[in-house]
Structure formats: C-alpha cells, structure tokens
Structure 1
C-alpha cells in the first residue's frame, strides 16, 4: 500500500489501542477505553466494508433465551452457570439501551413467543419444567418470566399453546450499528475498513501488527472478531453461519413480537411489515460451521416451507432477498474474555447472543487493561 507521510503520521503512529473488529463488541470496547483514557489514540481495524460477522446481519432479537434453549443449556451447564448467563444477557441489554437510548435502536418490547410443532417430548418438557425455570430466574426479573398463551396469530401446523416471555424485545440492527459508529467517531476513535489483520507479534512493550495492506505498532491489541477469532488466536470458538431471509412488505400483517421454533434454531419477527425469518443450521451443522458467507438450497427451502405452511399459510408473499451472518459458538455458552499475552486481549464467542451480551463483553474487554 502506497502510504503518505501524512497517512502514516495521522493513522498509524503512536497508536495506544488497536481493536480488531468494528462490531458491537469492538465498538463498545472503544467507547469504554475512550471514557477511561480520553487522550488515547484508538484505532479500529475492520476487514469488511461494513462490520462483518453478525453485528449488522442478525435478526434484531433483544432476548436472553427461550424456555427450551435454557432447558437445553441445563444439560451442559449448572443452574448457577445458567443464572449467570441470563444475568449477563439482561445486564448487557440494559447497557446497550443506556449507551444509545431506545429511540436510537428502535427498541420495542412486544414480548417473545415459543411455538411447538407438536405435543412432543420437547413441548412436555417445557410445560413440566416451566415453573422450575421461573423460580430459578425470579430473583432477576421479580416475576414469572415464562407464561402460557393460546394461538392468536393464525399460524398453522403448530399446537395451540405458546410459551410467552413478556421481557423479550426487538431492535433495528441497522440503527443500532449506525448509532454506535456515530458515537465512536464523535469520541475521536479512528476506523479503517477493508483492513484484514493477518498476524501479530509481541515485542518490547509494543505489538507488531501485520495487515493485508500495511504493518504498524500498537501498545495494546484487542481482538473482537467473534466467529472469525480462530483465524488469529487459538481459543475454543467455532464459526456458525446463520442464514436469514426477508419478505417484501405484506399488507395487514398483524404479527407482533419475536418468535422461536425448535429450541431457537428458527426465529422470525415482523419488521417494516415484512417477515424476517432465519435459522436452520441444525439441518447441517457441519456445513454451517464456516466463515464463508452464503446460502444453501437445503436451508433456504426449509425457511420457505415454514413461511408457506406455518407463518403465512393464507397470505401471498414474495421473498425479497436473503443473507447470512457468522456467529461464534462452542459447547459452552459463556464468552471468552481474557488476556492473551502482555499486551494482547480478546473478547469473543458470544454464542448467538451478540445483541444481548455484546455491549457487556466490550466493557469487560476494556476493563482487562
């Protein structure tokens, strides 16, 4: 890259903190660092034109877990660990709202619904253990989280009983990210896009960072690349692709709230009088464990089937377009926030809960310094 004296002096000299990734974690990390060190020179490197990964590609669910998801997590986590996870998700959502304001993320709390295809083992487990989970979480919310509702939206091929969560909400992901970017830039943080970090090397009180365009030195390095973390560091985090589609606007679309199916592997909502529907990676975990963006016929066909036979059975609709995002997951749901070396740190593995925990993980990452 042909850099001038001015470019090197203004962007790549005396860098105090370098953050890799301009998603929700990276931007919140920058905000926290700037609040603590107002005179610090902070540089964010983003490999995409827009933030890659999942921050600008998610479904906009402000949630902390459906009933079946929490029951499923209890198979590999203790009750204490589950309570800690839910607390972090709730606290992360509060931090997000306090940082940006509800109007700047279009926060709407219409509640969340879990739907069931049949009165199968999953349904009966949720019904039988609902009160137990409510008791487990009551001290967080001070009232029951999961209640029962009957079918009121005209969905087909599902049973008439839903599990309702009044605390669940939705946001506008695009507004959230543009608001975060605007706030970070206003604080004087610099962001360079289309810059991929290829490697870093710890030196004498400095880290040498090599990108696809240039090399430079930084006092501290923060890795906030979530699903892409394995490309830079050796931590237990795997990429998980999530495929999403959205319909064209539909007249008189009365569906309100956020909806979950099949342990949260499918999810949908109304946004701008369209149905946004995503999920299906459980159909092919191996193929969806990838950092490659794209769609597959298998999953797209399944999403279309759900639209036709469950969500919009009596409504004509057209699919406008589809996309995918990359999450960071593992067998455990807790994030990795740790010091990697003298001057390098990471905050990754958000487990598909980026909106809920991203702000908090960004703060925890900054607090490591």
Structure 2
C-alpha cells in the first residue's frame, strides 16, 4: 500500500477497535461498541466490495427453524439447547427490527410454511408426530402454539396433503437491511474500508498488529466476524458452507406469499414481490459445497430448476433472471461461537445458516465481551 501521511493519520492511527467483516455481526458489533464507547475509534475491514459472506446474499428469511429442522436438531442437541437457540434467534429478530424499523427492512409477516415432498414419507410423519411436543416446549417463548397443520392452498405439486404453517415467520429485504446497517454505521462515525484482506495479526502487550498485505497498523482490540471464512485466520470449529440461489423474472398473478421450507431446511423459497427466489441443495454435495469459493454448480442448479418446474410452479411459465451464491458458517453444533480468544482478540462466528435471525444478537454479545 502506498499510503499518505493523511491516510495513516486519519484511518490507521490510535485505533481502538478493529472489526474484520462488515456483515450483520460486524456492523451490529460496531454499533454496540459505539453505544458503549462513544469517543472510541472504530474501524471495519471488509475484504469484498460488499460484505463477502452471506449478509447481502441470503434469502431474507426472518425465521427461527422449520418443524423438520427443529426435529432434526433435537437428535444432536439437548432439548434445552434447542429451546435456547430458538429463543436467541427470536430475540435477534426483535433486535434487528427495533434497530432498523420494519418499514426500512420491508418486514412482511406473511408466515412461513413447510411442505413435504411425496417421497419424503419419514420426515412428513415424524414432523406431524412431533408437532404437539415441539409446540409445548417452545410455548414459553411465543405464548401460543407455533406450528399448525394446513391444507395446501398454493397448488404445489408432488407433496403431502398437509403443510405446516408458522404465523411467526416473516420475510425481509436483505439489500435494504444491509444498506440501512451500513448507513447507520457511517452516520455513527464508524470507518469502513472495503477490499481489505487481513493477511496476519500479531498480539503484543499494547494490542494487536494487523497486517493488510505489506502494510500493518496497531489496534487495541481485534474482533473477527468472518463466519464462514473464520478458519482462514483463527482456529475455530467452523466450516464454510456455500448456499446457491436463483430468482425468477416477474410472474404475472403470482399467488404465492410467504417463506417456505422443504427437506429439513435444505431447500427454501419465497416470493419477492411477484418473483420466486429459491435456494439450497447443498445436501446433494456436502463435500463440494464446503467451500469459500463463490459460484454455482450444474448439479444443484438443475435440482433447483426441477423443484421450481415440478413442485413450486407446475403449469406456470417462468424464466430464471439471476443465479448467485453465498457462504455460511456451520459446525457440528448450531450454537454460535462468541469468544475472547486472547487478551486483545475476540470472535463472533458460526451462525449456522441463521444470520438474519441471530446476527444482531451475536454482534451485541461480542461487543459486550469487551
């Protein structure tokens, strides 16, 4: 970097807090630090032109887990852990709504639905069987039953008779949310530098020396909020997981409104106005999708096209307008990692594919560790 005296003075001198990653967690952590330390100098470093992981690339689901996903989680987590996770996701969504406002993020409480493909007999019957039990254990959070059986009224094809409806689920506009968070950060005198890759860091008694290629500067505290990319610089039990997505061109008279889940959350779709956004399919190739490379594969895109044509929009003409992917951070546990790694280094990572729901809360928790 060929930096001037002015650039070094204003951006890289007397830095109190440096946050790596300008996604949902990083921005909430920065805003919380600003609340706690009004006079501090806060710098965010982002390796992408825009937040690189999933914050600007997700499907915009304000959700906390479909019934088959919760059923699956109960096999690998304790009942208490699952309840705590749902509580955190719910609290995180309320925090996000409170900070930005429903109008700003285009919060639409249409409710969420889970549909079960005809061939998925076991998940369908298991979910119906578990419905009363799951409603019972999460009732203290929502004060009423969350999951309800409903007959399909959307004319989907190749699915079981009942959908499972969740009135507490909603959708948001991901672009509006992130733009609003970035604007709020800038208006709170938080410095954001894009296309800056942290290549190394070294702790000393006064703080941390952070290297950006051949240039380095000192910060008092360093916070990693890089989620799926966490393992590139800090050794944490987080694996990247790519999510592939597509969106159709506008469809006249589209009668589908809401957020929809298929196959334990591995597929998900929603309306965006009168378009359908559909994503998922990494269960077709777990190994191949454990990557930090953005891109699409024909295996998964073909399956998404097939679901659209045969299940979601049978007998309706549509065209795909755009395809993309994002990188999530997963692990053997769905519990996020919010941790102080050493005297001056912290991390908030492993959001388990629930960044919209839990990201704001994890950002706050991370800032409150300091």
Aligned counterpart, 1:93:
93
Secondary structure at the aligned position of 1:197 is classed as: coil
Corresponding residue of 2:55: 55
User: Aligned partners of 2:115, 2:273: CA distance in 1, in Å?
Assistant: 22
- Deviation string for 1:187-238 (max 9, x for gaps)? 0000000000111100122200011362110000000000000001001000
Note if contact 1:195-1:213 (Cα within 8 Å) is conserved in structure 2.
no
In the aligned structure 2, how far is the partner of 1:129 from the partner of 1:12?
A: 55
Distance 2:53 2:173 in 1: 17
Query: Helix, strand or coil for the counterpart of 2:85?
Result: helix
Q: 1:55-204 residue pairs with structure 2 within 5 A?
A: 55-118=55-118, 120-204=121-205
Does the CA contact (< 8 Å) of 1:220 and 1:343 recur in 2? yes
1:294-346, CA deviations, whole angstroms, 9 ceiling, x for partnerless residues?
A: 00000000000001001111111100010000000011100000001100000
Contact map agreement 1:111 1:169 (CA 8 A) in 2: yes
The aligned runs of 1:220-259 (5 Å cut-off) are 220-259=221-260
Shift of residue 292 of structure 1?
A: 0.3
Matched residues in 2 for 1:2 and 1:90: separation? 46
- Please identify runs of 4+ aligned residues in structure 1 that moved more than 4 A: none
Match of 2:27 in 1: 27
> Can you give the 5+ residue segments of structure 2 that lack an aligned partner in the other structure?
none
Distance 1:2 1:205 in 2: 26
> Normalized against structure 1, the TM-score is what?
0.99
TM-score, normalisation: structure 2: 0.99
Root-mean-square deviation (Å): 0.7
CA distance in structure 2 between the aligned counterparts of 1:336 and 1:246, rounded to whole angstroms: 32
The alpha-carbon deviation at position 117 of structure 1 amounts to 0.8
Structure 1 CA distance, aligned partners of 2:189 and 2:350? 28
Aligned length: 369
CA–CA separation in structure 2 for the residues paired with 1:175 and 1:122: 35
Segment of structure 1 superposing worse, 14-23 or 117-126: 117-126
CA distance in structure 2 between the partners assigned to 1:240 and 1:31 by the alignment? 27
Q: Which residue of 2 aligns with 1:343?
A: 344
Q: In the alignment, which residue of structure 2 is the partner of 1:312? A: 313
CA distance in 2, matches of 1:66, 1:214: 46
Q: Counterparts of 1:171 and 1:212 in 2: how far apart (Å)?
A: 37
Cα distance in 2 for partners of 1:272, 1:72 equals: 31
Q: Deviations over 1:90-143 (max 9, x none)?
A: 000000000100011000110000000126111111111100000000010000
Q: Does 1:261 find its partner at 2:265?
A: no
Aligned 8 A contact 1:149 1:161 in 2: yes
2:76 alignment partner, SS class: coil
1:291 matched to which residue of 2? 292
Alpha-carbon distance in 2 for matches of 1:214, 1:72: 47
Paired with 2:101 and 2:8, the residues of 1 have a C-alpha distance of: 36
1:12-56 deviation per Cα after TM superposition (whole angstroms, max 9, x unaligned): 000000000000000000000000101100000000000110000
Q: State the shift of 1:272 in Å.
A: 2.4
Tell which deviates more after alignment, 41-50 or 201-210.
201-210
Query: Could you tell me how far apart the structure 1 residues matched to 2:44 and 2:103 are?
Result: 26
User: 2: distance between equivalents of 1:303 and 1:212?
Assistant: 39
